[in-house]
């Protein structure tokens, strides 16, 4: 669909407009009384979200590359239909292919409370089918309001069950890691990627003073990012998710990745709602699975 077609069919006054940025990348610009947001059609990737009168809630690297087939550093990358490395084929992309392939717009709607609803669907192709032979659909439903609600909906359209790994790999903007504590995972078991996935149990809040890369399992709990610098807390509420990943690459890893910017890792933390490792989802034929995350700001 061309940019003109997109705007003819799905633009909503000055609430939703589609723009081409670089390299043929198209984004949906969303602006309403509650918030502003930008969503790239590639990967249905929410790149920014900022409630009016607040600092941005979602972090986007100043060095994020908006290029065809490349993952965008920051925002809400959709990890699907697997999380982390592919189980058997190391040549396949980490975190699945969904975030780097084209998605299409199915629906946009101005809601009665002034929020904006958008629904996207992954466009199947030879590229996706070669990596994922299971007949299935995946859609992302986004509601931009005072809070940001994201729903990742998978449907097994085939005749055989498949195993699904997934996550909303969300980067949150913070004042500084030294002023931030992540709460909600006390007494929760986790696998520590930094220590070869050894298993531990979380005691108290999570303070980040080195690389943190942990998969918390069997938890449906909300998380709260307490940011003393911005005097705010970001609440991450979720449904249909039994795993939470907490990640900060710290200096060495961030420098190696090359798209965090100078000390960029200090201004972000990933708290990712998903289902992976012990919590992968087995979807029976005809079954649908919904992963929901809602991001909201509270005063500290
Ligand atoms: O979610 C944490 C993680 O799995 C880290 O281990 C690191 O690989 C991160 O994802 C970033 O992955 P990406 O492919 O987006 O660079």
Q: Any idea which residues carry the catalytic annotation?
A: 169, 272
- Rounded to whole angstroms, the Cα distance separating 176 from 230 reads 9
pLDDT of residue 69: 95
pLDDT of residue 149: 98
Q: Is 169 in the pocket of ligand 1 (CB under 6 A)?
A: yes
Domain span at 120: 3-299
199-205 long-range contacts, CB within 8 A, separation 24+: 205/181
Mean pLDDT of 95-107: 98
Mean pLDDT of 184-207: 98
CA angle 63, 171, 287 (to 5 degrees): 125
Q: Count of CB atoms within 10 A of residue 13's CB? A: 9
Q: Is 170 in the pocket of ligand 1 (CB under 6 A)?
A: no
Residue with the two structure tokens 């979380």: 202
Atom index in ligand 1 nearest the CA of residue 84 equals 4
- For residue 204, report the distance from its CA to the centre of ligand 1, in Å: 24
pTM for the model stands at 0.98
- For residue 293, report the distance from its CA to the centre of ligand 1, in Å: 19
pLDDT of residue 204: 95
pLDDT of residue 22: 85
Q: Is 216 in the pocket of ligand 1 (CB under 6 A)?
A: no
Task: Using pLDDT thresholds of 50, 70 and 90, give the confidence band for residue 23.
Answer: confident
Atom index in ligand 1 nearest the CA of residue 270 equals 1
Is the predicted pLDDT of residue 139 greater than 90, yes or no? yes
- For residue 148, report the distance from its CA to the centre of ligand 1, in Å: 22
Q: What is the pLDDT of residues 237-277, one digit of tens each?
A: 999 999 999 999 999 999 999 999 889 999 999 999 999 99
The protein residue with its alpha carbon nearest to ligand 1, atom 4, reads: 84
| Mean pLDDT over the full length of the chain | 97
Domain count across the chain: 1
Q: Count of CB atoms within 10 A of residue 171's CB? A: 25
Mean pLDDT of 171-192: 98
Pocket test residue of 96, 165, 213 for ligand 1, highest count of atoms within 8 A of CB: 213
pLDDT of residue 1: 87
High-pLDDT (> 70) share of the chain, %: 100
Tokens of 124: 């199947």
- For residue 215, report the distance from its CA to the centre of ligand 1, in Å: 11
Atom index in ligand 1 nearest the CA of residue 247 equals 2
Q: Is 191 in the pocket of ligand 1 (CB under 6 A)?
A: no
Pocket test residue of 73, 78, 97, 247 for ligand 1, highest count of atoms within 8 A of CB: 247
Q: Which residues pair with 225 in a beta bridge?
A: 182, 234
- For residue 295, report the distance from its CA to the centre of ligand 1, in Å: 20
- For residue 188, report the distance from its CA to the centre of ligand 1, in Å: 21
- Rounded to whole angstroms, the Cα distance separating 37 from 30 reads 5
3-state secondary structure labels for all residues of the chain: CCHHHHHHHHCECCCEEEEECCCCCEEEEEECCCEEEEEECECCEEEEEEECCCCCCECECCCCCCCCCCCCCECECEECCCCCCCCCCCCCCCCCCHHHCEEEEEEEEECCCCCEEEEEEECCCHHHHHHCCCCEEEEEEEEECCCEEEEEEEEECCCCCEEECEEECCEEECCCHHHEEEECCCCCEEEEHHHCCEEEECCCCEECCCCEEEEECCCCCCEEEEECCCCEEEEEEEECCCEEEEEECHHHHHHHHCCCCCCHHHHEEEEEEEECHHHCEEECCCCEEEEEEEEEEEEC
Pocket test residue of 69, 94, 193, 254 for ligand 1, highest count of atoms within 8 A of CB: 94
CATH of the domain at 246: 2.70.98.10
- Rounded to whole angstroms, the Cα distance separating 193 from 190 reads 9
pLDDT of residue 214: 98
- Rounded to whole angstroms, the Cα distance separating 196 from 194 reads 6
Atom index in ligand 1 nearest the CA of residue 193 equals 6
Q: Is 71 in the pocket of ligand 1 (CB under 6 A)?
A: yes
Pocket test residue of 77, 169, 245 for ligand 1, highest count of atoms within 8 A of CB: 169
pLDDT of residue 249: 98
């Amino acid at each position: 669909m061309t940019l003109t077609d997109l705007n003819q069919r799905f633009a909503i006054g000055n609430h939703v407009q589609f723009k081409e940025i670089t390299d043929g990348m198209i984004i949906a610009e969303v602006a309403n009384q509650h918030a502003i947001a930008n969503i790239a059609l590639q990967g249905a990737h929410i790149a920014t979200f900022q409630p009016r009168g607040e600092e941005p809630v979602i972090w986007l690297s100043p060095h994020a590359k908006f290029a065809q087939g490349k993952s965008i550093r920051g925002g809400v990358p959709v990890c699907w239909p697997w999380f982390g490395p592919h189980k058997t084929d190391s040549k396949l992309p980490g975190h699945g292919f969904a975030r780097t392939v084209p998605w299409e717009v199915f629906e946009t709607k101005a809601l009665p409370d002034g929020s904006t609803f958008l629904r996207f669907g992954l466009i199947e192709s030879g590229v996706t089918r070669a990596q994922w032979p299971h007949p299935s659909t995946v859609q992302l439903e986004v509601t931009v309001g005072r809070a940001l609600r994201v729903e990742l909906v998978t449907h097994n359209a085939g005749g055989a069950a498949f195993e699904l790994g997934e996550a909303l790999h969300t980067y949150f903007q913070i004042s500084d890691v030294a002023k931030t504590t992540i709460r909600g995972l006390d007494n929760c078991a986790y696998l520590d990627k930094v220590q070869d996935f050894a298993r531990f149990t979380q005691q108290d809040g999570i303070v980040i003073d080195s690389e943190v890369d942990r998969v918390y399992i069997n938890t449906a709990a909300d998380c709260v990012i307490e940011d003393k610098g911005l005097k705010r807390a970001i609440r991450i509420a979720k449904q249909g998710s039994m795993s939470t990943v907490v990640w900060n690459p710290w200096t060495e890893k961030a420098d190696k990745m090359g798209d965090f910017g100078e000390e960029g890792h200090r201004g972000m933390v990933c708290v990712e709602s998903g289902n992976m490792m012990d919590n992968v989802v087995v979807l029976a034929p005809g079954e649908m699975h919904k992963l929901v995350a809602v991001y909201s700001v509270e005063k500290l």
